[in-house]
Amino acid sequence: MSARAPKSPEGVAHLASRRTFVGRLVATLSCLTGAAPAVAQSLVPPRERPPAFRSGSHQFTSLRPQRALPHIRMRGLDGTTPDLASLRGAPVLLNFWATWCAACRTELPILDALAAAYRTRGLHVLAIAQDRGDRASVERYVRLLNIKSLPVYLDPAGDIAYSDRENPRKAPFALYGMPMTYLVARSGMVIGYMPGAADWNSGEARALIAYLDRN
């Protein structure tokens, strides 16, 4: 039997080229079927999740899916009527409260101090009263608590928030208790809510606020 003839240099180069092509094809198919090598997977940055925040018996709850801050006019105690969507581009704490809410009496001064501390740092802290009565009662309550830095708005008709299942005014924010604070990232997306009177001075709260500023 004669010996097999050695391959020419051109043949060797052609075989190496085919092997390279096949190897690349296998790698591509592996990526498409979810079997990508660990090195390739490590090149995709993981999506950052909001940090945990617990205060008392309550905890921060993420919204799925997230939604954009809606276009809706607010009525301020100072006479202003800004569009809520105008706050997109900055982190926001949107607090819903009422004068008849005992826990709100505890949280409002904390939010007022937070608004003062972050005044020059880009965070918007807003309090929207859910009282169905007259404006004067809300004004008296705010003066009683000596609220100075926290912007206060009115929602007497339930145009912004609702607690009844029917939601006849098609308000965008559901209330599962009082007080309740919705958190909005810099991107303008409402990422979740915190029920109950929260300690916004805690380390967990500050970490969550920093997350809003980054996203």
pLDDT tens digits, residue range 155-168? Answer: 999 999 999 999 99
pLDDT at residue 79, as a whole number: 94
CA atoms within 13 A on the CB side of 113: 9
| 19-62 pLDDT, tens digit each | 444 445 334 434 434 444 333 333 434 468 999 999 999 999 99
Sign of CA dihedral 169, 170, 174, 180: negative
pLDDT at residue 134, as a whole number: 85
The count of domains in the chain is 2
| 50-79 pLDDT, tens digit each | 999 999 999 999 999 999 999 999 999 999
Does residue 141 lie within any of the structural domains?
Answer: yes
81 and 159 housed in the same domain: yes
164 and 84 housed in the same domain: yes
* pTM for the predicted model, two decimal places: 0.78
Confidence of residue 14 (pLDDT cuts 50, 70, 90): very low
> Residue 212: how many CB atoms within 10 A of its CB?
21
119 and 38 housed in the same domain: no
62 and 95 housed in the same domain: yes
31 and 60 housed in the same domain: no
What is the arrangement of strands in the sheet containing 75-76, beginning at the earlier edge strand?
A: 61-68, 189-195, 180-184, 92-97, 124-129, 152-154, 75-76
**Average pLDDT over every residue of 194-200:** 97
32 and 102 housed in the same domain: no
121 and 65 housed in the same domain: yes
| 112-124 pLDDT, tens digit each | 999 999 988 999 9
71 and 166 housed in the same domain: yes
| 69-110 pLDDT, tens digit each | 999 999 999 999 999 999 999 999 999 999 999 999 999 999
37 and 91 housed in the same domain: no
